[in-house]
């Protein structure tokens, strides 16, 4: 992923909190998998949060000590045993192997693990 | 994960299509991470689809040849380069390290990679 966010400190906690646009850059060997991504598509991007700590099991949500310590599986902390990020974003443009998405809070160089469409039933459920 | 679904052929395509309840069974060493999961919570469960094919880049969605072949990053096919399953479910009950969830379409023995809360902003967005 290419993003103007240089590091973890610069990234907002969630994409809807004012994250910048980012480019998903696909390897040529998986290009066929990305061939139907198009502007307007709502997708989940799964990332590998390579700088996260994997030995953390409880955190103060949003790094705020006033929030009670909470098990990481009930938080969206980057620090967790398997640090996979889940980002719901909209595709803004496609340029060959490069896909521009809106409001993605991961920082520059974060590896992309998978991209999946959001299903209508997921979007509707409360 | 413990599920009455014995194999891939028995599993529905998506959880909202009539999947059974399943138990998420946490390893003792990550128990602290699961301590705040409670009945009623809406969570994403991420799984490793260990029987998927990783060399597939395009599929006919829903295994229906009438659907045009589509790049896997625009489908929810199990077969994809990094076969991580994404399942939105509701916690029904907690029994120590075992967490019962509703409508999970993965089959028995599928490894769990991560569990995350659904954020209100994700549930609301269309």
Beta bridge partners of A47: A85, A112
pLDDT tier at B121, thresholds 50, 70, 90: confident
Task: Write down the pLDDT at residue A5.
Answer: 86
A-interface mutation test, from B38, B67, B73, B79, most A Cβ less than 10 A away: B73
Task: Write down the pLDDT at residue A8.
Answer: 66
Do B114 and A75 lie within an 8 Å CB cutoff?
A: no
The segments of chain A whose pLDDT lies below 50 read: 126
Q: Which residues of B touch A (CB under 8 A)?
A: 14, 16, 30, 32-37, 41, 43-44, 46, 57-58, 70-76, 80-82, 84, 86, 88, 113-117, 119, 121-126
The secondary structure of A30-46 as a DSSP string is: GGGGGTT--TT-EEEEE
Per the CB < 8 A criterion, the answer to whether B40 and B112 are in contact is: no
Distance from CA of B35 to the nearest CA of A (A): 6
B125 → chain A, closest CA residue: A123
Mean pLDDT of B53-65: 94
B91 → chain A, closest CA residue: A74
Q: Is the pLDDT of residue B105 over 80?
A: yes
- Token pair for A120: 């209508």
Task: Write down the pLDDT at residue B9.
Answer: 67
- Provide the CB-side half-sphere exposure for B34 (13 A, CA): 23
Out of A80, A81, A123, the one facing B125 most closely (by C-beta) is A123
Task: Write down the pLDDT at residue A124.
Answer: 58
Q: What is the pLDDT of residues B76-104, one digit of tens each?
A: 999 999 999 999 999 999 999 999 999 89
Residue with tokens 């029904």: B92
Beta bridge partners of A85: A47
- Provide the CB-side half-sphere exposure for A86 (13 A, CA): 26
Out of A44, A74, A116, the one facing B117 most closely (by C-beta) is A74
- Token pair for B103: 């409508």
CA distance A60 to B114: 18
- Token pair for B121: 């902003």
Task: Write down the pLDDT at residue B126.
Answer: 43
Residue numbers in A near B74 (CB within 8 A): 36-37, 41, 117
The secondary structure of B31-61 as a DSSP string is: GGGGTT--TT-EEEEEEE-TTS-SS--EE-G
DSSP H or E run through A22: strand A22-25
Residue numbers in A near B60 (CB within 8 A): none
Give chain B's radius of gyration (CA, Å): 15
């Amino acid at each position: 992923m290419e993003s103007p966010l240089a590091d973890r400190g610069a990234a907002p906690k969630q994409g809807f909190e004012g994250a910048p646009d980012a480019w998903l850059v696909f390897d040529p060997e998986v290009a066929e998998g990305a061939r139907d991504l198009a502007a307007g598509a709502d997708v989940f991007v799964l990332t590998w949060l390579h700088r996260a700590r994997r030995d953390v099991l409880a955190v103060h949500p949003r790094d705020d000590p006033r929030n009670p310590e909470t098990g990481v599986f009930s938080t969206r902390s980057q620090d967790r045993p398997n640090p996979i990020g889940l980002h719901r974003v909209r595709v803004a443009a496609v340029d060959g192997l490069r896909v521009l998405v809106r409001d993605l809070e991961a920082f520059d160089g974060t590896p992309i693990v998978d991209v999946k469409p959001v299903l209508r039933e997921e979007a509707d459920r409360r």
